[in-house]
Amino acid sequence: MTTAPSTFRVPLPDTLVDLLGKRVIDLPAAELDGALLRDEAGAAYDRVRAESPEAQIVVRRCRDLLNDPDGDGFAVLEVGPLLDHYGLVDGQKAATILLSWLGRPLRPFDKEPLWRPLGTNLAVDPMRATGVGYNPLHIDVVNATEPPDYSALLCVRSDPRGEGYSLVSQLRRAVDRLSEGERAFLAEEVFHGDAFSDLTGVGKEYAPFPVLDGLPASEGFVRFAATMLSDMNLHDPHTSAARALERELIAEQKKFPLGFGDLLVVNQHLCVHGREPLGGRQEEVPEERRRLLWQIFLRAMGADS
């Protein structure tokens, strides 16, 4: 178990924070065309990037961290100054502009907003994203033919109990450490995810699906979500192979806290994410003070974007 070093953190230069603050009011709202950000809004946001050398440096740094096949596939952007200086509403819009330079904002869940709130709900399964327990390693929308390319989590309130550390682990290196036989079992279409409904922009339901689709990392996915293992036969060799992959992921996972304004971006072609349990006695914490994240997804753009 290792802690994410500062090399994965991407601070925003003060000049970029100031520029976004000046431009955010006049730029178009993050309206959607179907599940994706409208082209007109994306073009307006990209003109801001084009006029800012600092923005281009930040984008290059993020792309290096996210897309290097030999890297870890995640980055933590420090967008706290955007939220501090401009409030949660304009700060969220500024963060959307920033992320639009990395990928096209995507809303896969029809009944959720573009930024999906993930609060702390004491009544749901503790293993869920809004639960209080261990949220095991996974990629989001694992059972779609076209999962989101990037998943991003912005911390608005950290756990007041000081727990709930984020977890990330590099998928491709974990797969390489498996045996040839285990990889063969994971390439078979026998795995199932959660219910698939009210989703747009992620293709069709993929059921059953293989964990390993045989495509290069730039195109394919390692479709892994540890929760899928709970319903599988313990004596099935496919289960054993998936458990072996989970062990490899856990062995090399990194953990770190997300503080206010930390924006974790994960390349789902390379990296899984999860969360350690929140601190105890959450029932004693007023709801308005419990941990709150905002989640957004991105669709990759062309290499020349």
Whether 102 maps to a domain, the answer reads: yes
Q: What average pLDDT does range 188-192 have in this prediction?
A: 97
Whether 116 maps to a domain, the answer reads: yes
Whether 170 maps to a domain, the answer reads: yes
How many domains does the chain contain in total? 1
Whether 304 maps to a domain, the answer reads: no
Report pLDDT for 181. Answer: 98
Q: What average pLDDT does range 200-210 have in this prediction?
A: 97
Report pLDDT for 305. Answer: 42
pLDDT in tens, 242-268: 999 999 999 999 999 999 999 999 999
Range of the domain at 124: 2-299
Report pLDDT for 303. Answer: 45
Whether 288 maps to a domain, the answer reads: yes
pLDDT in tens, 88-113: 999 999 999 999 999 999 999 999 99
The enclosing H or E element of 59 equals helix 53-67
Any residues with CB less than 8 A from the CB of 52 and at least 6 apart, and which?
A: 15, 16, 19
pLDDT at 234 over 70: yes
Question: Edge-to-edge strand order for the sheet containing 271-275?
Answer: 2-3, 254-256, 166-170, 271-275, 135-138
Whether 277 maps to a domain, the answer reads: yes
Q: What average pLDDT does range 54-66 have in this prediction?
A: 97
Whether 55 maps to a domain, the answer reads: yes
Question: What is the average pLDDT score of the chain?
Answer: 95
Output the pTM of the full model. 0.96
CATH number at residue 59: 3.60.130.10
* % of the chain beyond a pLDDT of 90: 94
- Residue among 39, 203, 38 nearest 108 (CA): 203
Whether 305 maps to a domain, the answer reads: no
Beta bridge partners of 265: 75, 152
